[in-house]
Amino acid sequence: MTMQTSTEAVRQEFYDRLAEKDMAPLWAVLKGLLPNEPRSKARPHRWRYDDVRPLMMEAGALLTAEEAERRVLVLENPALKGMSRATATIYAGIQLILPGETAPAHRHSPSALRFMLEGEGAITAVGGERTVMRRGDFVITPSWAWHDHGAEGNDPCAWLDGLDVPLVQFLEAGFNEHYNDKNQAIIRPDGDSMARFGMNMLPMRAQSPYGLTTPIFNYPYERSRAALVAAAAGAAPDKHEAVSLRYVNPLDGGWAMPTMSAWMMHLPAGFETAPIRSTDGIVMCVAEGRVSTELGGERYDLEERDVAVAPGWAWRRFRAERDSFLFCFSDRVVHEKLGLWREERGAA
């Protein structure tokens, strides 16, 4: 007993001298650095849109979109309070634009996506081209592309924002810049990018003006939904993924964005998936329908426009109360590029 106490004291004295030299013993921290399997700091969670919307409208009465620059309610994972994170690597929030407002033009190194939730007449401009955002549309703001938003109809417009801000912060690679006017100059007609890249045809020397990001920046829900319904008619749903189609970059067939993967899942009425888990942390939003979920041992009933999070390596499964469509995005593409992505499929 005396020998053990003496040994621990000697070791601690050694560790203290290491700390004075800005060093540490690897053997004392090795288990934390190399766990047997991933242990996400994030927790499963659900944000009910019926809870979010009144607070969002209250924010609309408190300050203008121009005052706020971006009037957004951040969706904070309860295990990551004060960090503006829905998962370990993804920021998510609900943005509001009221009729006649403009969210001023700026650009930043983090990539962003939008998933339209409600309202008619929402406009976003990216890289000199405008697009109308309709409910269920998946809209991309590439890294370092000028963008501004507005509402030209009579309705409040709201959408889900997703950004790779936590990842960019970790890499200490963040830049931000404001435009010299509220709105950027429009230099291309509406629908230009879709005409060039989104009709199963490509320019002869096709390249994206946004580097590694797809040259298409609006993937309309109408087309996505129709593709999923047609796919469901042609083959039985996968027992783990139901009917899932991913948004792609038409230039290389890869994910649409270099740091965030996005896809849409169609669950026919009554269909229940078998459990599955993967290393990526997933943010999901019900575009249409009603879905019962189990996420990391927590059960949630998701109504239309509700948002939920499945942390990395947490088991997840879904059951559709009626025909349902679930928009999902995650950091899967980063895991894949680094050779780290892994999944496990449970029994039905």
Residues 140-170: tens digit of each pLDDT: 999 999 999 999 999 999 999 999 999 999 9
- Would residue 69 be called left, alpha or beta, if left means φ above 0 and alpha means ψ between -120 and 50 degrees? left
Q: Does residue 268 form part of some domain?
A: yes
H/E run at residue 259: none
Cβ(265)–Cβ(325) below 8 Å: yes
The pLDDT of residue 1: 47
Tokens representing 87 are 């998962």
Q: Does residue 206 form part of some domain?
A: yes
pLDDT in tens, 281-290: 999 999 999 9
The pLDDT of residue 5: 61
pLDDT in tens, 37-69: 999 999 999 999 999 999 999 999 999 988 999
In single-letter form, the type of residue at position 324 comes to S
pLDDT in tens, 84-95: 999 999 999 999
In single-letter form, the type of residue at position 12 comes to Q
- CATH no. for residue 335? 2.60.120.10
Q: Does residue 216 form part of some domain?
A: yes
Better pLDDT: 6 or 13:
13
- Would residue 171 be called left, alpha or beta, if left means φ above 0 and alpha means ψ between -120 and 50 degrees? alpha
| Phi and psi angles of residue 227, each rounded to the nearest 5 degrees, phi first | -65, -40
Q: In angstroms, rounded to a whole number, what is the distance separating the alpha carbons of residues 94 and 71?
A: 8
What's the average model confidence in pLDDT over 243-262?
A: 98
Q: How many independent structural domains does the chain possess?
A: 1
Is residue 343 pLDDT above 90, yes or no? yes
Cβ(89)–Cβ(42) below 8 Å: no
The pLDDT of residue 4: 59
Q: Does residue 279 form part of some domain?
A: yes
Percent with pLDDT over 90 in the chain: 94
In the beta sheet, which residues pair with residue 106? 147, 178
The pLDDT of residue 180: 87
Q: Does residue 17 form part of some domain?
A: no
The pLDDT of residue 188: 95
**pTM assigned to the model:** 0.95
Q: Does residue 16 form part of some domain?
A: no
Q: Does residue 173 form part of some domain?
A: yes
Q: Residue 162 belongs to what domain range?
A: 45-345
pLDDT in tens, 176-216: 999 988 899 999 999 999 999 999 999 999 999 999 999 99
- What's the distance, CA 50 to chain centroid? 20
Mean pLDDT of the chain: 96
Is residue 235 pLDDT above 80, yes or no? yes
What's the average model confidence in pLDDT over 7-26?
A: 94
Q: In angstroms, rounded to a whole number, what is the distance separating the alpha carbons of residues 95 and 122?
A: 11
Tokens representing 223 are 């087309």
What's the average model confidence in pLDDT over 315-323?
A: 97
Q: Does residue 340 form part of some domain?
A: yes
CA distances from 277 to 120, 164, 281, 295, 317 (A): 36, 21, 10, 9, 9
Is residue 236 pLDDT above 60, yes or no? yes
